[in-house]
Structure 1
Amino acid sequence: MESSPLTADLRRRLVFRVGRQSHEIDAAGVLEVVRAGHITRVPNGPAALKGITNLRGRPVPVLSMGQILSRDDHASRHGGKIIVYDHGGAVGLLVDDVLTLSEDTSATPLEGLGNLLDAAFKTTRRAPLGRTDSIERDAGSRSSLTLMPVLSFRVAGQLYGLPLEQVREVAIIPDDLAVLPNGKEAVIGLMSLRNGVLPLVSLASLMALEVTKSSADHGRIVVVEHKGDLIGLVVDAIEVINRLPEHAIDSVPAVLQRGGGDAQIAAIGRIAGGGRLISILSPDRLFGHDEVAKAIGQRAGAVSMETAPEAIEQFLIFQLGEENYGLPIASVDEVIRVPVDVTRMPGAPAFVTGVINLRGRPIPLIDQRSRFDSPASVQAAAARAIVVTIGKLQAGFVVDAVTEVKALPAAALTPAPEFSSEQTDVFDRIAHIEADGPMVLLLDPQELLTRAERDVVAAITERKAGTEEKTGDI
């Protein structure tokens, strides 16, 4: 009796190659086969886990079949193909090549594939309990300190800032920038931002400062929201996020309020540790500039933020090695430069770089590069410490660079798979910023340190505080 076409399909076997060996699996569980593109590494993941790949906007975990079958990661070093397999959800199997799809093969049957995948990672995911509550608790504890968060940046060699609550995101200047005909010097052009058009304005021109070529080619865009309108302010470079106490913010001397660039400054902030001053700008005055108003009027097709259809969440994007990661901006206390004078603590774990003094408080520095097994960056000047409060402990996590502040809609966020390594619990969501671009792993700030690590770091902090009280160092 001949088999029906459906029965024949169910008997088909997919043959793939890993190294010199060919294996076959039941094709019924194969969803598709794609070429291996960019795979985002998951630090401290299981040995077989290569990372996460972007499959048309959906994050798919990728496992090395070379590692699973022979503990050899040969396939991952030479591109290869990804077999998207249904195992309680889509799972990518990284192989050297896919050879054939047939009912009659002579390849070695791969038995127990499901058990092998179960051993590599868990397909179920823990309930996302406490993440939002913990952020709200941390925000509540910080509100009693009456600190104003300010995003600082450089324009023509000078330090300026904007209140973080008025910053929508920080982006990179795109290559496909539309230049306006007969545009004023301050108006650089227009760029696409999700469903709208964003006008770009040179902040140096608005401030009557010298416009450098680097700001137009390699600068950053600070996207500011004001009365439902968005505008991109082009600056030379992003510095840090400072949280300034009220007593460190002074009004601008009357003699400076004489128009031009000085009139855009709303206050002067004093940054602790070094005596640096930061000019805090006023979005109201910036948006009142005639050239800015004209640029807003030329953004045909832009979407007003007042009518945005979905909620937006902001993330601080930072770099470790060749990968980018993200933290909810609401969980970040501030971002600082890594100081030169870091106090080393005898007997501290290898991941504790040392302790610094931040406004009279000892703050331990955690080397996130060593914790994520990332190579040290050669650009030490770009290194930053992201200060986060975890429970009652405040610590700075050292990263290679802080690159962007990104505003993402809920549709761009996906729960991260739960892998069989407890160290990967720090990743709770995945962001797909571009349709076919690399995935960005998002960290749960409350999982940055394990409970045991918190106890160790807290003990180091208390020891340092006790020493400074005795010596009067604070």
Structure 2
Amino acid sequence: MSYEDAVVENDDAISAEKSDNQFVTFSVEGELFAAPMAPVQEIIRVPELARVPLAPASLLGLSNLRGRVLPIVNLRRIFGLPDIANTDSTRALVINLGTPMGFVVDRVASVIAVDEETIESVAGISSSIDTDLLTGVVKNADGEMVMILDFGRLVAGEFASAVAGSKGAGGAGVEQAMHNADEAEEEASDELQLVSFTVDGQEYAAEIASVQEIVQVPARTVLVPNMPGHVLGLMTLRERLLPLVSLRVMLGLPRMTVDETQRIVVLGLAGGQTVGVVADSVDEVLRIPHNEVERMPSLLSKSGELEEVSSVCRLDGGKRLVSVLDTARMFDNAALKSVLAQAARPESKVSDSEEQDNEDLDSIEDDEQVVVFRLGEEEFGVPIAAVHEIVRVPEKLTHVPKAPHFVEGVINLRGAVLPVIDQRRRLGLADLERNDRQRIMVYAFNNTRTGFIVDAVTEVLKIPKNAIERTPSLSGEQQRILGRIANLENQKRMIMLLDPMALLSDTEVAKISAIE
């Protein structure tokens, strides 16, 4: 459901001019309540929501209201009432309590004017809810009792576990994660870091330094006349035109129709140019010791048949081969240079009016590069600098006796023991049966590497920093682990940014490091 569907235009309940003695009335489970009109900003239909792990059960999720992150709370759950399906009458009252919050009610009734002297005490009234949440009662024109709800007290009680001092949540941990990743990078200077992808069942890879983003296939591309078969056309990415090429065709493999299951690997080339390479799927982020990487024999390279491949990685004792592409050589041809030049022309850029809301997109310094993954229907992201590797989940994890209860098992990652934790369980989500889309994201906790299983890794994105904000403080644990959110209004997406260093306590890291 889009925002346009969610907002109630010209609703009778908010059409009257606000005054101090006006209240909006609404019902929950057949009982009438009222809220002062002054802090009521809007009344909307219940929008699409991003579910937030580790938040109180009363929080239905977060929505995007005209570029603003809006928490949506279920009053039924706060009152201890059973959930019911939304109906045509279900609404959310958007109330400003220092920060706007939406409260779902069964039905909005009307706006009433109340003289202060007619407000009665709640003492002795019979109600299904805690009377401590009420400031008084009044009677409407029909003589029905209407309870005035204290939303400030309600929120303070429901979200009391939110850490008051969480102002810097989600920042220090991310910096620590990046610092740990930098240390790991220094220690692993004898390794080659790659992004691997599959084309026609074969594994290929590009050095991660040349990979700028990994994005989904767009709904529309623009064809370029008189181009060779491997040039698929142009797409719009971040308000710029990006040439698309088919890796299948470039490698002499059977052509396949481009669809939403494939991914586009955005590579940076010399001169600041970029090109999108269409792959069947993006599989892993790998760190390969240089002694497992062999240069392509010069005889094969010079023959022209394998000139795109610079080296081959021998993994799993030589049972698995990954061809590393020489991106500079691959795209050093006149046809593609023509397309790149066309995409780089000033007239290929979007107009100033289209760019107005995203004026900082062009500055790399104003972007944060994140790996996006899914847990259920929700999207999460972590800074790419904090991700040590991304690998497949093996058919079976080895269970270690006396291992901490939160460790699913261990795997052998190129001779090293890697403890593995289920990210779903860590965030209090339901278990998911193992499948081939799942991946293990490896983070470095000081010198201890630990893997977390996620449902799927979908893309690598550059997110403008002005699209990232603090999430509302909903619980202490949530604010620590999920302290930031990327609100991509134009794409109608919200990506919860996870702080990997907050996933484990120092005690838990010590227990994991003891696993041999």
TM-score, with length taken from structure 1: 0.88
Cα distance change on mapping 1:112 and 1:306 into 2, 3 Å: closer
Structure 1: how far apart are the matches of 2:318 and 2:403?
Answer: 27
- Alignment CA distance shift 1:217-1:443 (3 Å): closer
Q: Given the alignment, which residue of 139, 144, 148 partners 2:192?
A: 148
Question: Where do residues 15-414 of structure 1 align in structure 2 (5 Å cutoff)?
Answer: 15-74=25-84, 80-103=90-113, 105=140, 106=144, 108-121=146-159, 122=162, 125-128=166-169, 130-142=172-184, 143-146=186-189, 147-213=191-257, 215-216=258-259, 218-226=261-269, 227-258=271-302, 260=304, 262-272=306-316, 275-299=319-343, 300=345, 301-302=347-348, 308=363, 310-377=365-432, 380-414=435-469
1:416 corresponds to which residue? Answer: 471
3-state SS, counterpart of residue 157 of structure 2: helix
Distance 1:357 1:302, change over 3 A: farther
Contact 1:135 1:331 in 2 (8 A): yes
Question: Is the 1:19–1:75 contact (alpha carbons within 8 Å) kept by the matching residues of 2?
Answer: no
Query: How far off its partner does 1:423 sit?
Result: 4.8
After TM superposition, the structure 1 = structure 2 runs for residues 420-431 of structure 1, keeping only pairs within 5 Å, are 420-431=475-486
For residues 282-323 of structure 1, the C-alpha deviation after alignment (integer angstroms, 9 at most, x for no partner) is 221122123321221332545699963752211111111221
Which runs of 5 or more residues in structure 2 are unaligned? 1-15, 115-139, 351-359
1:433-444 paired onto structure 2 within 5 Å: 433-435=488-490, 437-444=492-499
Partners of 1:83 and 1:43 lie apart in 2 by 23
TM-score by length of structure 2 reads 0.81
Q: Using the alignment, how far apart are the partners of 1:285 and 1:58 within structure 2? A: 45
Offset at 1:140? 2.9
Q: How far apart are the structure 1 equivalents of 2:431 and 2:412?
A: 24
C-alpha distance 76-360 of structure 1, shift in aligned 2 (>3 A): farther
Letter in 2 for 1:137: H
Report the CA distance between 1:133 and its aligned residue. Answer: 3.5
Is the contact between residue 262 and residue 281 of structure 2 (CA under 8 Å) also seen in structure 1? yes
Task: Say whether the 8 Å CA contact 2:235–2:244 is kept in structure 1.
Answer: yes
Q: Secondary structure at the match of 1:117?
A: helix
Q: Is the 8 A contact 1:120 1:420 kept in 2?
A: no
Match of 2:23? Answer: 13
SS in 2 for 1:70: coil
Name the stretch that deviates more: 75-84 or 59-68: 75-84
CA distance in 2, matches of 1:316, 1:458: 25
SS for the counterpart of 1:74 is: coil
How far, CA to CA, are the matches of 2:498 and 2:224 in structure 1?
40
Equivalent residues of 1:54, 1:436 under 8 A apart: no
- For 1:273 and 1:79, locate their aligned partners in 2 and report how far apart those are by CA, in whole Å: 63
CA contact (8 A) 1:171 1:221 kept: yes
Q: Secondary structure at the match of 2:340?
A: helix
Letter in 1 for 2:309: I
Partner of 1:468: none
C-alpha separation between the residues in 2 aligned to 1:387 and 1:126? 28
- C-alpha distance 82-452 of structure 1, shift in aligned 2 (>3 A): farther
Tell me which amino acid in the other structure corresponds to 1:458.
S
2: CA distance between counterparts of 1:438 and 1:272? 38
Q: CA deviation at 1:368?
A: 1.2
Contact 1:207 1:260 in 2 (8 A): no
Aligned AA (1:11): N
The CA distance in 1 between the partners of 2:446 and 2:234, in whole Å, is: 43
Q: Does 1:458 align with 2:502?
A: no
RMSD, matched Cα: 2.8
- Alignment CA distance shift 1:332-1:93 (3 Å): same
How big is the shift at 1:435?
A: 2.8
State, as a whole percentage, how many aligned pairs show the same letter: 32
CA distance in 1, matches of 2:199, 2:77: 50
Check whether the contact 2:35–2:150 (CA below 8 A) recurs between aligned residues.
no
Retained in 1: the 8 A contact 2:176–2:501?
A: yes
Q: Given the superposition, is the C-alpha separation of residues 430 and 273 from structure 1 closer, same or farther in structure 2, using an over 3 Å criterion?
A: farther
* Contact residue 227 and residue 335 of structure 2 kept, 8 A: no
CA distance in 2, matches of 1:79, 1:148: 58
Once residues 264 and 491 of structure 2 are traced to their aligned partners in structure 1, the CA distance between those partners, rounded to angstroms, is 23
Asked whether the 8 Å contact 2:244–2:278 carries over to 1, the reply is yes
Partner Cα separation in structure 2 for residue 30 and residue 36 of structure 1: 16
Matches of 1:384 and 1:309 in 2, distance apart?
28
Q: Given that residues 343 and 355 in structure 1 are in contact (C-alpha distance below 8 angstroms), is that contact kept between their aligned partners in structure 2?
A: yes
> Bigger CA drift: 426-435 or 98-107?
98-107
In 2, are the aligned partners of 1:51 and 1:62 still within 8 Å (CA)? yes
